[in-house]
Amino acid sequence: MSYSEPTTKEWIRSLFEPGQLLFWAMTYYVRENVDAVFRRGQVLAPLLQTTKLRDEAFGKFWVAFSTTPSDEPGPQQSLLENRVQGSSDLIPPILARAEGIVLDVGPGTGTQMPLLVSPNIKAIYGAEPCHGLHAELRAKVEAEGLAKKYTILPCSVVASDLIPAMQKEGLLINHNAGGGVFDTIICVRVLCSVPDMNRTIRELYTLLRPGGKLLVTEHVVNPWMTPKGSIVARLFQATYGFLGWSWYLGDCCMNRDTETALKKAADRDGGWESVELDRWFGGSPLPYISGVLTKKGTPFGPWDM
């Protein structure tokens, strides 16, 4: 797919769009605090339950954000025009490569669900720690006819949470060192918010079967020291971080070098079989990497557990 460099007007708009998102998230946090004090009578909640209120506010914000129509052209229109116009356009061609037994990391409200209906997918396990998003996620699963294929795991992808949830579903019965469990692992806009990104990516790597694929579409630190980056956009990233981006937006970090962490995850096995990663939107505070990383080895037969 092709990508046209933005006009000056579009570039300036891209610099301020994350600020609008941050302000929107802030209003939900303020509203949640006001409700706690004046509607529920929890006068000290803003001081004693800060994290709880923040998480509840983010859950409500994310439901609203993910269900609000965008004014940008939809991915289907962009695909027809064979042009990438926004980050959502990067997702369909990547998820089209999902197959076998799939781990969907942080599916949120299930906005990617229509892209996971391929007959090549045997089963999907969605690890979503925010319980406030489960109702919307379950509704999307049912709407797409995936109720028999999709299982919601009420946990994060931190090993101490994920492994017990997987064991409960019987997923580790034949698991062995290096053997892996999943044929495909999907990471779409989630690695920015895991507590320890490097460790999480290494753990996800071990869960891939030989020949398994890690499908990635993630926003990353602006590569401002390269020709594809922008020092202005990097400064905007730092400014949004100072204003509380991570706090109000579910621990999301704008300045992670996700690409390097992904490539290093396979070092113990001599690297990945293949790494197909492209960079996009280098002039924006929300630049992206998108692509597929394939684990060395020969895939196991017809996805037998």
The string of DSSP codes covering 176-205 is -TTT-SEEEEEEES-TTTSSSHHHHHHHHH
The CA distance from 282 to 231, in Å, is 10
% of the chain beyond a pLDDT of 90: 79
> 0.85 cut: is pTM over it?
yes
Tens digits of residue pLDDT in 227-245: 889 999 999 999 999 999 9
Whole-number pLDDT of residue 80 = 47
The CA distance from 126 to 110, in Å, is 9
Specify the CATH superfamily of domain 86-294. Answer: Vaccinia Virus protein VP39 (3.40.50.150)
One-letter amino acid of 148: K
The CA distance from 219 to 222, in Å, is 9
Tens digits of residue pLDDT in 25-37: 999 999 999 999 9
The string of DSSP codes covering 129-148 is --GGGHHHHHHHHHHTT-TT
**Domain residues of the chain, as ranges?**
86-294
Tens digits of residue pLDDT in 62-76: 888 887 766 555 545
Lowest mean pLDDT among 41-55, 61-75, 114-128: 61-75
One-letter amino acid of 101: I
Whole-number pLDDT of residue 72 = 55
